[in-house]
């Protein structure tokens, strides 16, 4: 199927934390290969592998020093080839994380550029102002100025993230050719697509104009991050980016059956038009934002985000997820809305499986893992190390998978690179397999329902005008429709008129009382209807 990604379930694997095969406490490719049957059994259609390229690991692999080599921590290219072969044998597609906005400062390209050699213009360099200050007011996502002074070149270079992650100058046609070559290298090894990191950061305003200030929040209190105090009008999301996306898409079109998924980094409410623009024909196949990765668990929010995307892109195709390697796990993030963590985890999985588009699960989400609470001394993430304790960083969602009740939860025979703590270890896979009412069994069941139900996998969506805390939508495909209703709260609620059709056996906590439906805490139902 050429467009296999439509309606697919993509399972994100964070290689450092999935499975260690050689006893060094760090997950690796051989470990992933050994555990792929778990992903297939869960009911996923594809895996997304976070970066596995050679890297100094200043940002855990998102600082690449060789785009066409596997980091020795994870194995070899031969290990990667075995992983792809095993995934394909299990019916799983392979999506590879590509970090094309920036490289590591240890990349040979950057050494050449700072020396003003053949690749002098491969990164974004600018002169200081007469007083020695940076060229403009642009800020780094990871704190401080987005400009770093280089004493050898006597210029500043741009870094939207760490200073050790200099931005590539993707205005340069030679750089564009180089990144196209990177894609072709991995496509030739059999990958089925790419997740493009920070896809709207690729190009900047060549005139280097200052960003204007962003409006202060309604309460007048500045945000925790100074980065959020700017309207990022000139340092990202430039119109020239569309032509670059078309070039990358053309590369993938040369390998039929491959797809491009883009990460749009923008504040809530402003990402949806960008997603729509980026997924028009000839650009990305799918895009996602952080709109459903935040704290809001209200019916109004879910409806606004989904309707907002399709209003902007009626023929577009979104990718929705509630969890990934950058955000607090949903069971902890939305804890105030759940009667208990397991109930919230089960509802979130059911809701995600009901959304229109392609959906993503982050490793451990199928177990209902909460965020790991770490001490400062246990951190590895540069964000947490810099902004603790107001911002605790991303390590809490990156702790290793919990497979069984053995030492280190079956992840490694050595001390893991991040600690596995009792709340996570207690939710290990082996224990959940033997418990019929576990989150894992529920995850398998709802993904099977989605796979077997065309309206859920491929159908259009229409929201019902229900009062909070109820969220309702109708998914229709052809003559068939499914009505999905969720009580997004820890309190019971009554729906006076039941949807037409018959209630799915997978509905939980919903009781039909005549023409009404009684919803207990975090309950949900699907009503199936097809004309006779």
Question: In Å, how far are 38, 96, 352, 370, 488 from 90, measured between CA atoms?
Answer: 10, 17, 24, 29, 35
Segment 21-46, tens digit of pLDDT: 999 999 999 999 999 999 999 999 99
Note the pTM of the prediction, 2 decimals.
0.98
How many percent of the chain have pLDDT more than 90? 98
In this prediction, residue 259 carries a pLDDT of: 98
Q: Are 459 and 357 in contact (CB under 8 A)?
A: no
pLDDT at residue 106 greater than cutoff 70: yes
Pairing of strands 259-263, 286-288: parallel
Q: Could you tell me the fold of the domain covering 9-103+173-450?
A: TIM Barrel (3.20.20)
| DSSP conformational letter for 55 | -
Q: Is the pLDDT of residue 217 over 90?
A: no
Range name among 107-116, 233-242, 266-275, 410-419 with the lowest pLDDT average: 266-275
Interior angle at CA 330, CA 324 and CA 334, nearest 5: 150
Predicted confidence (pLDDT) at residue 532 exceeds the cutoff of 80: no
Q: Catalytic residue among 20, 28, 197, 381, which? A: 197
Give me the CATH code for the 460-529 domain, please: 2.60.40.1180
The answer to whether residues 495 and 488 touch, using CB atoms and an 8 Å cutoff, is no
User: Quick one: average pLDDT of 90-114?
Assistant: 98
Separation CA 63–CA 57 (nearest Å): 6
> Does 66 qualify as catalytic in the annotation?
no
Is the pLDDT confidence value at 156 over 70? yes
Q: Identify the pLDDT of residue 435.
A: 98
Q: What is the DSSP code string of 135-160?
A: SS--B-TTSSBSEEEETTTTEEEE-S
Q: What is the mean pLDDT of residues 96-120?
A: 98
> Whole-angstrom Cα distance, residue 210 to residue 275?
24
Q: What's the mean pLDDT when you consider all of the chain?
A: 97
Q: Could you give the angle at the alpha carbon of 190 between the alpha carbons of 184 and 193, nearest 5°?
A: 70
Question: 154: buried, middle or exposed (CB in 10 Å: 19+, 13-18, 0-12)?
Answer: exposed
Q: Enumerate the β-bridge partners of residue 486.
A: 471, 524
Confidence of residue 216 (pLDDT cuts 50, 70, 90): confident
User: Is the model's pLDDT at 512 over the cut of 70?
Assistant: yes
Please state the rounded mean pLDDT for residues 115-122: 98
Whether 85 has a pLDDT exceeding 70, the answer reads yes
pLDDT at 520: 98
As a whole number of angstroms, the distance between CA 304 and CA 443 comes to 26
pLDDT band at 268 (very low <50, low <70, confident <90, very high): confident
Region 453-476 average pLDDT: 98
- What is the pLDDT averaged over residues 116-136? 98
Say whether pLDDT at 256 is over 80.
yes
Give the model's confidence band at 1: pLDDT under 50 very low, under 70 low, under 90 confident, else very high: low
Token pair of 499 as six digits: 């949807």
Burial class (CB in 10 A: 0-12, 13-18, 19+), 44: buried
First to last CA, the chain: 30
Mean pLDDT of 473-494: 97
For the residues 183-195, what does the mean pLDDT come to?
98
Exactly one of 20, 105, 263, 266 is catalytic; which is it? 266
Domain boundaries defined on the chain: 9-103+173-450, 460-529
Question: Does residue 281 carry a pLDDT above 90?
Answer: yes
Query: What pLDDT is stored for residue 132 in this prediction?
Result: 98
Asked if 381 is an active-site residue, the reply is: no
Stretch 350-368: mean pLDDT: 98
CA pair distance 508, 81, nearest whole angstrom: 42
Q: Mean pLDDT, to the nearest integer, of 443-458?
A: 98
Confidence of residue 413 (pLDDT cuts 50, 70, 90): very high
Which of 414, 359, 512 is closest to 25 using CA atoms? Answer: 414
- For range 325-336, the mean pLDDT: 98
Asked if pLDDT for residue 377 goes beyond 80, the answer is: yes
Q: Average the pLDDT over 434-462 and give the result.
A: 98
């Amino acid at each position: 199927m050429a467009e296999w990604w439509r309606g697919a379930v993509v399972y994100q694997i964070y290689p450092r934390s999935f499975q260690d095969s050689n006893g060094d406490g760090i997950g690796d490719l051989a470990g992933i290969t050994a555990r792929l049957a778990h992903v297939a059994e869960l009911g996923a259609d594809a895996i997304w592998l976070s970066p596995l390229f050679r890297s100094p690991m200043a940002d855990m692999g998102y600082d690449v020093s060789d785009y066409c080599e596997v980091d020795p921590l994870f194995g070899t290219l031969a290990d990667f080839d075995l992983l792809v072969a095993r995934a394909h044998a299990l019916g799983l597609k392979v999506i590879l994380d590509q970090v094309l906005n920036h490289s590591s400062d240890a990349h040979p390209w950057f050494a050449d550029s700072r020396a003003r050699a053949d690749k002098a213009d491969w990164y974004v360099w600018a002169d200081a102002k007469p007083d020695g200050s940076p060229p403009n007011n642009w800020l780094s996502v990871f704190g401080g100025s987005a400009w770093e002074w280089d004493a050898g070149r006597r210029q500043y270079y741009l870094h939207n993230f760490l200073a050790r992650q200099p931005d590539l100058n993707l205005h340069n046609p030679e750089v564009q050719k180089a990144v196209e070559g990177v894609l072709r290298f991995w496509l030739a090894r059999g990958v089925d697509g790419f997740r493009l990191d920070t896809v709207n950061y690729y190009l900047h305003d060549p005139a280097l104009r200052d960003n204007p200030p962003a409006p202060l929040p309604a309460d007048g209190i500045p945000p925790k991050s100074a980065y959020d105090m700017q309207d990022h009008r000139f340092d990202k999301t430039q119109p020239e980016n569309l032509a670059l996306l078309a070039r990358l898409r053309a590369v993938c079109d040369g390998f039929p059956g491959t797809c491009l998924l883009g990460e749009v980094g923008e504040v809530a409410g402003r990402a949806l038009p960008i997603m729509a623009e980026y997924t028009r024909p000839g650009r990305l196949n799918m895009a996602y934002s952080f709109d459903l990765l935040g704290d809001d668990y209200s019916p109004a929010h879910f409806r606004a985000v989904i309707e907002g995307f399709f209003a902007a892109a009626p023929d577009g195709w979104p990718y929705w997820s509630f969890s990934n390697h950058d955000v607090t796990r949903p069971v902890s993030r939305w804890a105030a809305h759940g009667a208990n963590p397991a109930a919230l985890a089960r509802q979130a999985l059911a809701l995600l499986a009901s959304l229109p588009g392609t959906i993503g699960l982050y490793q451990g989400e199928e177990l209902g893992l909460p965020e790991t609470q770490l001490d400062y001394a246990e951190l590895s993430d540069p964000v947490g190390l810099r902004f603790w304790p107001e911002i605790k960083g991303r390590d809490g969602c990156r702790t290793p998978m919990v497979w069984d009740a053995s030492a280190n939860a079956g992840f490694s025979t050595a001390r893991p690179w991040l600690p596995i703590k009792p709340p996570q270890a207690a939710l290990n896979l082996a224990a959940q397999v033997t418990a019929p009412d576990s989150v894992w069994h529920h995850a398998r069941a709802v993904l099977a329902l989605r796979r077997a139900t065309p309206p859920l996998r491929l159908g259009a969506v229409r929201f019902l005008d229900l009062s909070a805390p109820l969220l309702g939508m109708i998914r229709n495909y052809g003559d068939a429709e499914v009505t999905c209703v969720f009580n997004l709260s820890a309190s019971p609620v009554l729906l006076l008129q039941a949807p037409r059709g018959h209630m799915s056996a997978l509905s939980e906590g919903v009781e039909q009382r005549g023409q009404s439906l009684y919803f207990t805490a975090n309950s949900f139902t699907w009503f199936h209807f097809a004309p006779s």
